[in-house]
Amino acid sequence: MVINKNNRTVWKSRISKTKLSYFDKIGSSIDIDKRLYNEDISCSIAHVEMLHKQKIISFKIKNKIIFGLKKIKNEIIKKNFLFHKEDEDIHMSIERRLFEIIGEDAGFLHTARSRNDQVLTDFKIWIKNSSNEIIKLINSLLKTILKNAEKNVHTLMPGFTHLKNAQPISFSHYLLAYIEMFIRDKKRFENNFTSLLENPLGVAALTGTTFNIDRTYTTKKLNFNSSTKNSIDTVSDRDFVLDFLYASSVCSMHLSRFAEEFIIWNSDAFNLISLNDKIVTGSSIMPQKKNPDPLEFLRGQTGILYGNLFSMLTILKGLPLSYFKDLQEDKKIVFDSFDKLKQCILISNEVLNNYTVNKKRMYQLCNIGYLTSTDLADYIVRELNYPFRKAYNITANLVNYCEKNKKSFQDLRIEDIKKIEPKLNENVLNIFDLNNSVKSKKSFGGTSFDNIKKMIKIYKKEIK
């Protein structure tokens, strides 16, 4: 229920009520959408400037309204603005205050617009700005990862498949994998700009308006690229909300994979990294404990972000065109996903600045599980001109031999190897060298030190 200067609700002439109903209370979104105040005021200013340019309102009224709106903005910034539950939402709240400040002329503001196009315009601008904020945060995370990668080009560790030691890799190569993911995340947010830059203002409730408005004018003023093309679609459309929630969910999923991996590696069983005291918490009963809570926190948040995406998809499922109150939930969902994602990126950055790489342990683990087996099979193919499958079987037999005799590849002498494949000579022993193994993965995108160094140079140029 929105009350103007004369203490009359905006819809009083039609709906008679003496006090706030239960629904008025729960239907109010002011506590949530007040975050849109800045966008709302900018859009209103652009709107009245357009109305004046089109000779729909006078110069005097335009200035009066802009004066009032600027005063309101100041009041909100200085926290002198009273948000009332009765004001339903931020748009009505600002309109109510405008009446208080400039009187009946405030009533001209809502000429040729509806809250339906108003809220969409505010919200698209908010999501665009917030996406830029997320892109910036991802960028600083990328820089931190890159710093980590530069320091660890020659740090060897086992690469895992199925969480079993698979082949030796450079720790840096692993970190650069996350660079690729977060670059894609940035692009996902950027791709959304196409629809975010279509201006909804001017489609009014659902049909357009009888006034001779100039939508191109507000499009330019508010930094959109073009005006939306169908008034019914415009007020019904929340695809841009889904796009934002999806991009946020994917980014958060990447963060949760990183978090999970660091949790595992920080575990006593793996002990590949150690988290610094700054990012661990203690136990209330076990004095010795140092728990990776922040990582678990960010892994958990992903569930909530997925939930938000699914909430919005479900709200939209089967919803007829055009505007329904159901859609009002979109702000709560988007704000929540944004806040959580922001927090998660910041936490990840903190973690990546506050841990130690247990290089010795990483190297030791590379010696468990015959990690250079594939290198050996490849070598046999090249040296003896055998088909890969035959070389694979010879290598498997050698691994069986080692297991049976409790030997690692490093313990083998050429005589042992000749028992399995007599045509091999001493040169084969170099194949078990872990550094050689990594160095030899020269194919494009592989873990060789040279590839990594090249990629680091490229990323350094790309990530500004």
> Which residues are tagged catalytic?
162, 283
Return the beta strands (E) in 60-214 as ranges. 156-161, 164-170, 198-199
Using DSSP bridges, classify how beta strands 156-161 and 164-170 pair: parallel, antiparallel or unpaired: antiparallel
Nearer to ligand ARG, 250 or 327 (CB): 327
110 interacts with ligand ARG by CB under 6 A: no
Nearer to ligand ARG, 116 or 121 (CB): 116
How many residues in total does the chain contain?
A: 464
Residue written as tokens 């000749």?
Answer: 418
Please report the DSSP string for 412-464 in residue order. Answer: --HHHHHHH-TT--GGGGGGG-HHHHHHT--STTS--HHHHHHHHHHHHHH--
**Residue of the chain from 43, 119, 181, 222 that contacts ligand ARG (CB under 6 A):** 119
Identify the CA nearest to 394 among candidates 416, 413, 410, 411: 416
115 interacts with ligand ARG by CB under 6 A: yes
Site string for ligand ARG, 310-329 (x = CB under 6 A): -------------x---xx-
Query: Whole-number minimum distance, CB 248 to ligand ARG, in Å?
Result: 20
Query: Whole-number minimum distance, CB 1 to ligand ARG, in Å?
Result: 13
124 interacts with ligand ARG by CB under 6 A: no
Nearer to ligand ARG, 326 or 403 (CB): 326
Q: What is the token pair recorded at 324?
A: 């329904």
170 interacts with ligand ARG by CB under 6 A: no
> CA 237 to CA 437: how far, in whole Å?
54
Q: Which residues, numbered 387-426, are part of the site for ligand ARG (CB under 6 A)?
A: none
Whether cis (ω within 30° of 0) applies to the bond prior to 226 is no
**Residue of the chain from 116, 130, 301, 395 that contacts ligand ARG (CB under 6 A):** 116
237 interacts with ligand ARG by CB under 6 A: no
* Region of 9-17, 111-119, 179-187, 413-421 interacting with ligand ARG (CB under 6 A): 111-119
9 interacts with ligand ARG by CB under 6 A: no
234 interacts with ligand ARG by CB under 6 A: no
3-state helix, strand, coil in the chain (%, to 5): 65, 5, 30
Q: Which residues, numbered 12-31, are part of the site for ligand ARG (CB under 6 A)?
A: 29
Identify the CA nearest to 292 among candidates 270, 310, 312, 311: 270
3-state secondary structure 220-263: HHCCCCEECCCHHHHHHCCHHHHHHHHHHHHHHHHHHHHHHHHH
> CA 44 to CA 441: how far, in whole Å?
59
The answer to whether 456 and 146 have CB atoms below 8 angstroms apart is yes
Query: Whole-number minimum distance, CB 251 to ligand ARG, in Å?
Result: 25
Nearer to ligand ARG, 88 or 378 (CB): 88
86 interacts with ligand ARG by CB under 6 A: no
**Residue of the chain from 89, 95, 117, 185 that contacts ligand ARG (CB under 6 A):** 89
CB count within 10 Å of CB 193 equals 15
Query: Whole-number minimum distance, CB 23 to ligand ARG, in Å?
Result: 13
Q: What is the token pair recorded at 74?
A: 């100041």
Nearer to ligand ARG, 29 or 165 (CB): 29
Query: Whole-number minimum distance, CB 325 to ligand ARG, in Å?
Result: 6
Size of the site for ligand ARG (CB under 6 A): 8
> CA 109 to CA 98: how far, in whole Å?
9
* Region of 112-120, 215-223, 259-267, 347-355 interacting with ligand ARG (CB under 6 A): 112-120
Query: Whole-number minimum distance, CB 323 to ligand ARG, in Å?
Result: 5
113 interacts with ligand ARG by CB under 6 A: no
The answer to whether 4 and 97 have CB atoms below 8 angstroms apart is no
Q: How far is CA 329 from CA 100, 160, 312, in A?
A: 29, 42, 8
Binding stretches for ligand ARG (CB under 6 A): 29, 89, 115-116, 119, 323, 327-328
